[in-house]
């Protein structure tokens, strides 16, 4: 089945790249193929377009001996592993268009003797608007809820809360954006079959394009000026802070000698840090900060 | 003695701020006073000048119950602590002028009963040129060596190697800059008295201004264009990566609810990330990368 999952992720990458190129209308992805020393490799694809200033859509399928650090962190015995997934971050040119991130992944450990196989799926989609637009956040969460609800009624509330907790910039006491869904270690617990979990992950992956192309189209032609660009650069700074300080995936990748350029393709093109920046009372910037909180029900 | 050390650090901050203002010729520091919930506080001073685009000179003196996390990390029993120090990062406007960082600090734990007191000094100075200029790196290291040599012949070789190891951007396989000196837990070992350690730390602190004002004056009027600015933005990206991913001080501060704005004043004003940037063969940029290695004897 791992081949089937891998094939799906490859086709998903192809499909997403094609649709993002169409939505951008100008940019084309360039591809870097890479191999991992211990086994496997990936296809990193990067776009610099007219609407997507910098975006990456990565596919990877890696295997080999489970590094000790990872085995420990995952509470697994050492052995051979297989991991595959698709990972996306898009930084739009316009501050009126949100940043989006998606990841879908599958992990398994080689079975020894007659033990049951260890496997799981993980992933999520989350949205980081520079300016929080309530109707966009609602559209986003409702779309994710409808995807989740087709698989299990507990999925959305559980994975929405998980995203609130995961995408939290602790030292800023704010969420990275308006959240979304996050899930990990979805395995055979609670009577789910592998096929059922895979079907869910497929639907999450396939939800990416309709969601983002809608949000891009809706907002890409909105006017903005210097003030909005400046705010975008500051918000991107928070994105960097989250990814480099708190994101477990990034830390793990860098810590275990992953391919640096593929891991850090998530970082924005231009960023600014201003000491102790304060928003103006009553401004859209202030309103945005007030909405970067856990526990908001956007549906 | 902790009062004497604290007073020295305060005066050092005053002195450095005054001399940096004079060297910049235009910018003035603004000050934020802050208090720490558990006890103590600090004076964060920020400059945005004509030559120093963004710089911070922080003094702090904090005390209280040792947070459990810190006690564990430092391998100490829980109790009351006192910590004071000065911390500086200056980001120049010109890509021809190096970024500089300095830190001097003192830490002690309240003595229980008749146990000997636990105390130590730490600190360092390191230089991060956007373009490595060999004679500047030599000047910098020779100056630090002469400061160290006045206190102990082993100081410079030991602390220079320590800086090479500490200021290493592991996931990029490059040093943050041309290094300098780094030291920690300088206590009463090897027959040093507290006064002797303090005298050394004083001299390190007082070396900052002559070093940086020389380097600023020498390079601030050199011409540069778009290409050099672009390279500066990329190099600042590596600075961010080091500080947020690897710097123990930053991680510790954020992890233990330190004052975020004071900790992250070290981040540069404008930064860029470009996917898989490649330097041109034979360029000054390529030469710089070749010199970002451990173990270069600049003296």
* Strands of the sheet with A118-128, listed across from one edge: A30-35, A40-47, A52-65, A80-92, A99-109, A118-128, A179-186
Nearest to B46 among A172, A263, A275 (CB): A275
Task: Place B134 in a pLDDT band, splitting at 50, 70 and 90.
Answer: very high
For A184-211, what is each residue's pLDDT tens digit? 999 998 899 999 999 999 999 999 999 9
- Whether the predicted pLDDT of A70 surpasses 90: no
CB-neighbour burial class of residue A245 (10 A; exposed 0-12, middle 13-18, buried 19+) = buried
How is chain A split into domains, by residue range? 2-291
Structure tokens at B103: 């830190």
pLDDT tier for residue B38 given thresholds of 50, 70 and 90: confident
A112 band by pLDDT with thresholds 50, 70 and 90: confident
Quote the pLDDT of residue A71.
84
Contact B233, B270 (CB under 8 A): yes
Between A72-86, A163-177, A220-234, the lowest mean confidence (pLDDT) is in A72-86
For B280: left if phi > 0, alpha if psi spans -120 to 50, otherwise beta; the answer is beta
Instruction: Identify whether B141 is a catalytic site residue.
Output: no
Let me know: does B238 contact B15? Beta carbons within 8 Å.
no
Rounded distance between C-alpha atoms, residue B1 and residue B153, angstroms? 26
Would you call B261 an interface residue with chain A, using a CB distance cutoff of 8 Å? Answer: yes
Q: Which pLDDT tens digit goes with each residue over B157-211? A: 999 999 999 999 999 999 999 999 999 999 998 899 999 999 999 999 999 999 9
User: Which residue is closest to A278 within chain B, CA to CA?
Assistant: B261
* Catalytic choice (A101, A130, A141, A143): A101
Q: What percent of chain A has pLDDT over 90?
A: 85
Give B114→chain A minimum CA distance, Å: 39
Q: Do the chains contact at A269 and B268, CB–CB below 8 Å?
A: no
Give the chain A residue whose CA is nearest to the CA of B238. Answer: A264
Lowest-confidence pick of A287-291, B4-8, B60-64, B219-223: B60-64
CA A12, A13, A15, A21 dihedral sign is: positive
User: Which residues, including other chains, have CB under 8 Å from residue A229's CB and lie 6 or more apart?
Assistant: A95
Nearest to B74 by CA among B37, B35, B122: B122
**C-alpha torsion angle, residues B221, B226, B230, B235 (rounded to 10):** -20
Contact status, residue A44 vs residue A259, Cβ threshold 8 Å? yes
- Identify the pLDDT of residue B257: 80
Please provide the distance, in angstroms rounded to a whole number, between the alpha carbons at the two ends of chain B: 35
- The pLDDT-based confidence of B105 (bands split at 50, 70, 90) is very high
- Region A56-65: what's the mean pLDDT? 94
The two three-digit tokens of residue B289, written as one number? 């990368």
Q: Give the homologous superfamily in CATH for domain B2-291.
A: Coproporphyrinogen III oxidase, aerobic (3.40.1500.10)
pLDDT for residue B189 = 87
Chain B residues closer than 8 Å to A273 by CB: 54, 264, 267-269, 271
The rounded percent of chain B whose pLDDT value lies above 70 is 100
CA-based radius of gyration for chain B: 19
Partners of B277 in the β-ladder: none
Name the DSSP class of A245: I
CB count, 10 Å around CB of A157?
13
């Amino acid at each position: 089945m791992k081949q089937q999952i891998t094939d799906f992720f490859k086709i998903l990458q192809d499909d997403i790249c094609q649709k993002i190129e169409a939505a951008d209308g100008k940019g084309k992805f360039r591809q870097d193929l890479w191999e991992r020393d211990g086994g496997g490799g990936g296809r990193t694809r990067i776009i610099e377009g007219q609407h997507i200033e910098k975006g990456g859509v990565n596919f990877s399928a890696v295997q080999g001996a489970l590094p000790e650090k990872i085995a420990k962190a995952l509470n697994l015995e050492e052995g051979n592993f297989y991991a595959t997934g698709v990972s996306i971050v898009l930084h739009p040119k316009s501050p009126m268009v949100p940043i989006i991130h998606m990841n879908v992944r599958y992990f398994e450990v080689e079975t020894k003797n007659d033990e049951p196989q260890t496997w799981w799926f993980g992933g999520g989609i989350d949205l980081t608007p520079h300016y929080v637009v309530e109707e966009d956040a609602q559209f986003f969460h409702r779309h994710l809820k409808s995807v989740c609800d087709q698989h299990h009624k507990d999925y959305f509330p559980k994975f929405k809360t998980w995203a609130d907790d995961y995408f939290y910039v602790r030292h800023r006491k704010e969420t990275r954006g308006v959240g979304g869904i996050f899930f990990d270690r979805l395995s055979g617990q609670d009577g789910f079959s592998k096929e059922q979990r895979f079907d869910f992950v497929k639907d999450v992956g396939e939800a990416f394009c309709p969601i983002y192309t809608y949000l891009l189209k809706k907002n890409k032609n909105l006017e903005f000026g210097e003030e909005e660009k400046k705010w975008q650069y500051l918000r991107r700074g928070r994105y960097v802070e989250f990814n480099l300080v708190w994101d477990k995936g990034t830390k793990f990748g860098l810590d275990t000698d992953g391919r640096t350029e593929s891991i850090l393709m998530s970082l924005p093109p231009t960023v600014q840090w201003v000491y102790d920046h304060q928003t103006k009372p009553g401004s859209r910037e202030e309103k945005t900060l007030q909405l970067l909180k856990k526990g908001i029900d956007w549906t």
